[in-house]
Amino acid sequence: MIVKIEEIERELTEMQESKDKVMQTSREMIRLAGKSITMMHAGNMKDAEGNLKKISEMAKELKKFDSRFDYNAQQAHQEYVEALTLYHILKHGKIPSKSEAEVDSISYLLGLLDVMGELKREVFECLRKGDVKSADKYYSFMTEIHDSLLPMRFSSSMMPDFRKKQDVGRIQLESVSSELLSFRKRRR
């Protein structure tokens, strides 16, 4: 009996091509998300918005692939949520919902935790300019994210890096709180 592997080989070749496409698209999404965040910090909201639209389209494209590759796309979705959340906070003064982001729950939560670092950067930039009101506003968003996610406890096998990101977020929140207090004392 001769083993016929052509069909199996064809199936595996298609899987490899799909995975390669997912990885390529994910890398591009991550690159564009980082670029968008840099643009937002520089005040270039229009170009950042254009990049976010491109990333959104790429995210929709990734959904067409087999769910076996969700893990490979998770980082890209999480970076997208981080950039999208920063955009919504800076432009609209609100945190986008999971349905607005159109990503899975884990990517959404991890992206929210990641944006705390970007909000910390905004707080410090506002303080450098003497804009305490805006610094307080961004600090409030950090607090809202932290406090909302604090009660969540899941295994790291289900939500990789979630606990670590919670801890990093808490440290960033404490750092910002301390800096705001010091700034106010110096101004007196």
What is the per-residue pLDDT for 186?
86
Q: Are 29 and 58 in contact (CB under 8 A)?
A: yes
Per-residue confidence (pLDDT) for residue 109, from 0 to 100: 96
Q: Is the dihedral of CA 49, 53, 58, 59 positive or negative?
A: positive
Q: What is the mean pLDDT of each run of 10 residues along the chain (188 residues)?
A: 78 88 93 97 96 94 78 90 98 96 94 97 96 97 96 85 94 96 87
What contacts 81, CB < 8 A, 6 or more positions away? 101, 103, 107, 108, 110, 111, 112, 114, 115
Q: What angle do CA 136, 137, 143 make, to 5 degrees?
A: 85
- Domains of the chain: which residue ranges? 1-103, 107-188
Q: Which class is 1-103 in CATH?
A: mainly alpha
In this prediction, residue 66 carries a pLDDT of 63
Q: Is the pTM of this model over 0.85?
A: yes
The pLDDT score that the predictor gives to residue 18 is 85
Domains 1-103 and 107-188 fall in the same CATH topology: yes
Give the per-residue pLDDT at 61: 87
In CATH, the number for domain 107-188 is 1.20.58.2140
